[in-house]
Amino acid sequence: MSKSVEIIRNRAGSAPIELALILGSGLGHLAHAVNGVAIPYADLPGFPHVSVSGHNPSLHVGTLEGVRVAVLGAREHYYEKGNPAAMRVALETLKALGVGSLIATNAAGSLRADIRPGDLMLLSDHINFSGLNPLIGEPTDARFVPMTDAHNPAIRAALQAAAMAEGVALPQGVYAWYSGPSFETPAEIRAIKILGGDAVGMSTVPEVILARFLGLKVAAISTITNMAAGLSDEKISHEHTKAMAPLGAAKLEKILRRYLRDMA
Ligand code: HPA
């Protein structure tokens, strides 16, 4: 048993955890809704070192709407240290604790006129525009992970039902992962549009690949903080992302709470 598994069991109890949630930029406060304990990543060997403002680097384990959950208050992004597998140990640890499904969240820029800042988008699929992969160097044949239906159809249907019940719009679209940390150029956004992207962001795709590698079911939701580069006059910045994320966060919390209640 890994050291992190042992520490989490000691502090949070050994009942299996059903679902894990990763919170994106400006969404960290959702972690405080969990009725349980918060364990700083710094106490958990192998967990990420997060250096991005607007993120809460601790693991919250407890119940939310009657479901035992683990909420990762922050992620390490590829652009922080150049490691696409930065979340691998954290996800392996959660898997060892019983987690069967993962819902990832992020802040993203929209390429679609009908999906505006403050709106949410459920990822129907993704495009790995970065060309990076967290499984490069993995020596086993398990590295050849099928990515058809990587964004789990049953979880997506349940999230859409939860959104409908809460009266929150949850359009689906394709998320393109661009490495960051610089934002995209307008030409890159035009390219992503031609390739079939509906939103663009700097995270989530490596975690979806790792989750599928580990056999976790996965789904992801973006909170749209801005129109992508060149699509509006608004200046794109990290400050703006952090300021806008809470607009979608309240809707996201409603959907997730309803999804968990339906699951319980
Ligand atoms: N591009 C990339 N990442 C982002 C954006 C964007 O426009 N907005 C929020 N995260």
Into how many domains does the chain fold?
1
Output the pLDDT for position 54.
Answer: 64
Output the pLDDT for position 127.
Answer: 98
pTM above 0.85, yes or no: yes
> Which residues of the chain register pLDDT less than 70?
54
C-alpha 250 – ligand 1 centre gap (Å): 19
Output the pLDDT for position 136.
Answer: 97
CATH code of residue 62: 3.40.50.1580
Q: At what angle do helices 3-12 and 88-96 cross, to 10 degrees?
A: 60
C-alpha 183 – ligand 1 centre gap (Å): 7
Which among 200, 222, 234 is the best mutation to test ligand 1's pocket, defined by most ligand atoms within 8 Å of the CB? 200
| Domain limits for position 243 | 2-263
- The DSSP result for the chain, as a single string, is --HHHHHHHHHH-SSPP-EEEE--TT-GGGGGGSEEEEEEGGGSTT------TT---EEEEEEETTEEEEEE-----HHHHS-TTTTHHHHHHHHHTT--EEEEEEEEEE--TTS-TT-EEEEEEEE-TT---TTTT--SGGGS---TT-B-HHHHHHHHHHHHHHT----EEEEEE---SSPPPHHHHHHHHHHT-SEEESSSHHHHHHHHHTT-EEEEEEEEEEEPTTSSSSPP-HHHHHHHHHHHHHHHHHHHHHHHHHH-
Give the model confidence (pLDDT) of 124-176 as tens digits: 999 999 999 999 999 999 999 999 999 999 999 999 999 999 999 999 999 99
Counting from 1 in the atom list of ligand 1, the atom nearest the Cα of 226 is 8
Nearest CA-CA partner of 72 in 137, 24, 138:
24
C-alpha 36 – ligand 1 centre gap (Å): 32
Place of tokens 């050994």: 14
Smallest CA separation from ligand 1 atom 7, residue: 109
Output the pLDDT for position 199.
Answer: 98
Output the pLDDT for position 243.
Answer: 82
Which among 127, 222, 236 is the best mutation to test ligand 1's pocket, defined by most ligand atoms within 8 Å of the CB? 236
